[in-house]
């Protein structure tokens, strides 16, 4: 497998997953810059010039959530996820998709307003709204982690998705001190050797 990767992107999730599963892979590390991401070569892999993209033989697939599901089914025989008839399966799906549905949209806005836009184009109102929305979106995650080490108890693909997003949200200062369950969760995620390997590549 070959992962097309840029630092400080969702591609970090896929490095984390591949390291957790101890699967062999190679990295095409690109700059998080239009010169690499918007090149004709990379647009042939992803029409919008984004990462991650995973090549696996004749398969080329993008969207981090789709890649996680693909790898778990094709290379782990459904591992790191409960069986369809498991009582935890619906909750697994919920947190897996909660990441992109509720947490990452305000994260994206915060990054745009604090990093990507030049200072003269930043909107403090939009930034404040996104910060409040992100903190609000994290509250149910904090509640769900009461008495659990990971989102559904055991470590799973939902943690690859949402755990990575929670780590980012914490770095952005949007996990409040009152969210003690979530703070502990982020610490556990950050301590995993496979996660450390992914972060080292950022």
Distance CA 155, CA 19 (A): 14
Domain boundary (53, 75, 97) is at: 75
Provide the pLDDT for residue 3: 98
**Domain range for 25:** 2-75
**96-138 pLDDT per residue, tens:** 999 999 999 999 999 999 999 999 999 999 999 999 999 999 9
Distance CA 54, CA 14 (A): 9
Q: 150 and 106, same structural domain?
A: yes
Structure tokens at 50: 């984004």
Q: 120 and 184, same structural domain?
A: yes
Q: 175 and 125, same structural domain?
A: yes
Q: 93 and 49, same structural domain?
A: no
**7-51 pLDDT per residue, tens:** 989 999 999 999 999 999 999 999 989 999 999 999 999 999 999
Q: Residue 201 — very low, low, confident or very high, per pLDDT cuts 50/70/90?
A: confident
Q: 109 and 45, same structural domain?
A: no
Cα distances (angstroms) measured from residue 39 to each of 60, 85, 201:
17, 44, 22
Q: 154 and 96, same structural domain?
A: yes
Distance CA 129, CA 109 (A): 9
Q: What count of residues does the chain have? A: 202
Q: 67 and 142, same structural domain?
A: no
Q: 101 and 67, same structural domain?
A: no
Q: 96 and 67, same structural domain?
A: no
Crossing angle of helices 164-171 and 180-191, in 10° steps, is 110
Whole-prediction pTM: 0.95
Q: 99 and 55, same structural domain?
A: no
- Residue 30's CATH number: 3.40.30.10
Q: How does 39-57 read in b/e, with b if 16+ C-beta sit within 10 Å?
A: eeebeebbeebbbbbbbbe
| Sign (positive or negative) of CA dihedral 142, 14, 44, 111 | positive
Percent of the chain with pLDDT over 70: 100
Provide the pLDDT for residue 202: 75
Total domains present in the chain: 2
Provide the pLDDT for residue 98: 98
Distance CA 141, CA 73 (A): 26
Q: 166 and 110, same structural domain?
A: yes
> 44, 41, 49: which is closest to 9 by C-alpha?
49
């Amino acid at each position: 497998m070959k992962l097309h990767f840029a630092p400080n992107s969702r591609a970090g999730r896929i490095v984390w997953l591949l390291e957790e599963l101890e699967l062999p892979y190679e990295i095409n590390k690109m700059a998080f810059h239009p010169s690499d991401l918007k090149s004709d070569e990379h647009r042939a892999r992803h029409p919008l010039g984004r990462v991650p993209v995973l090549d696996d033989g004749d398969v080329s697939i993008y969207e981090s959530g789709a890649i996680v599901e693909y790898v778990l089914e094709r290379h782990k025989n459904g591992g790191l996820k409960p069986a369809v008839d498991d009582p935890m399966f619906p909750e697994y799906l919920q947190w897996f998709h909660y990441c992109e549905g509720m947490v990452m949209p305000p994260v994206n806005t915060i990054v745009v307003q604090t990093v990507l836009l030049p200072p003269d184009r930043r909107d403090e109102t939009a930034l404040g709204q996104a910060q409040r929305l992100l903190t609000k979106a994290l509250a149910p995650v904090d509640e769900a982690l009461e008495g659990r080490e990971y989102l559904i108890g055991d470590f799973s693909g939902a943690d690859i998705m949402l755990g990575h997003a929670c780590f980012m949200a914490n770095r952005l200062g949007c996990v409040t001190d009152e969210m003690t369950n979530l703070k502990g969760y982020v610490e556990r995620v950050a301590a995993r050797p496979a996660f450390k390997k992914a972060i080292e590549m950022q």
